[in-house]
Amino acid sequence: MTDDNGGGTLYDKDFWHSMNQGYAVAGLPPIMPEDWARTEAMDNAACLELPHDRDSVARRLAGNMVKAHIRIRDLVGKRTVWPQWCPEHNESRPDTMASLYVLTMDQPSVIIALRDITQLAEAASEALVHQSSCEARVTRWCEPGCATDVLTVKRGEYICAFKACRACMQHIRTGAGFNDDYVGADQDWIDDRKPPEAEPDEIDQW
């Protein structure tokens, strides 16, 4: 994050001291120095936007991939993380956990932890290296057996990666939307899950 004038980072000692003073006034715990880097990474990940994130067709594709992942995760009661790109990732230690994960259609139960966004292209290419069929299939002009491009779409902490043919990529790049040529999923996925209700003693802690 940069300041409003475009110069320098806001994430320095003065920034954190100011933030923690505000937290103290509000009666909240401070963010400790050892957590500064992770907090900054999570903030940057939340603000990150990829080229096709706002396209309605791409968002529908990604949303349905995330839905499949969540259903499997809820069924088995845990998530499987591939840590090759973020070896320090440890599910039992929040301070080590990644803030971005690559998700693919071929293995919807597995998420690939990224240390930062610069790893995305290589990680996605490696995950899709054996995929030659188009996974997008959003237009009637789709070439199912000729996937040459990689489409990445961010939904929350997940970056959904697809192999796509040129016709499907062209449909998305041109913003054709749900026109007469569109043949993909007919509904968007909306995450309407509700968090579990807190027990009375948990409420008292707040």
Q: Are 101 and 66 in contact (CB under 8 A)?
A: no
Using alpha carbons, list the distances in angstroms from residue 18 to 11, 33, 72, 152, 170.
11, 13, 42, 37, 47
**Distance in angstroms (rounded) separating the CA atoms of residues 63 and 108:** 12
In this prediction, residue 192 carries a pLDDT of 65
CB 77 within 8 A of CB 69: no
CA atoms within 13 A of residue 154's CA, in its CB half-sphere: 16
CA–CA distance, 204 with 206 (Å, rounded to integer)? 5
Alpha helix segments (H runs only) across 83-131: 120-127
Does the CA dihedral 131-103-98-100 come out positive or negative?
positive
Asked if residues 137 and 114 have their Cβ atoms less than 8 Å apart, the reply is no
pLDDT by 10s per residue, the chain, length 206: 433 333 334 445 554 455 556 546 555 556 566 554 554 554 445 557 889 999 999 999 999 999 999 999 888 888 889 999 999 988 888 778 888 899 999 888 899 999 888 899 999 999 999 999 999 999 999 999 999 999 999 998 899 999 999 999 999 999 999 999 999 999 998 776 565 554 444 333 32
Structure tokens at 89: 């990732």
- Each domain of the chain, given as residue ranges in start order, spans 13-47, 56-173
Cα–Cα distance measured from residue 12 to residue 3, given in angstroms and rounded to the nearest whole number: 11
| pTM of the full structure | 0.72
Instruction: State how far the alpha carbon of 33 is from the alpha carbons of 15, 27, 94, in Å.
Output: 12, 19, 15
**31, 19 contact by CB (below 8 A):** yes
Closest listed residue to residue 158, CA positions, set 95, 39, 74, 67 = 67
pLDDT of residue 22: 52
What the block records as the tokens of 36 is 């500064």
Model pLDDT, residue 156: 87
Q: How far from chain centre, in Å, is Cα 37? A: 19
Asked if 162 and 135 touch (Cβ cutoff 8 Å), the reply is yes
CB-based contact 114:98 (threshold 8 Å)? yes
Q: Which pair of structure tokens corresponds to residue 104?
A: 């693919």
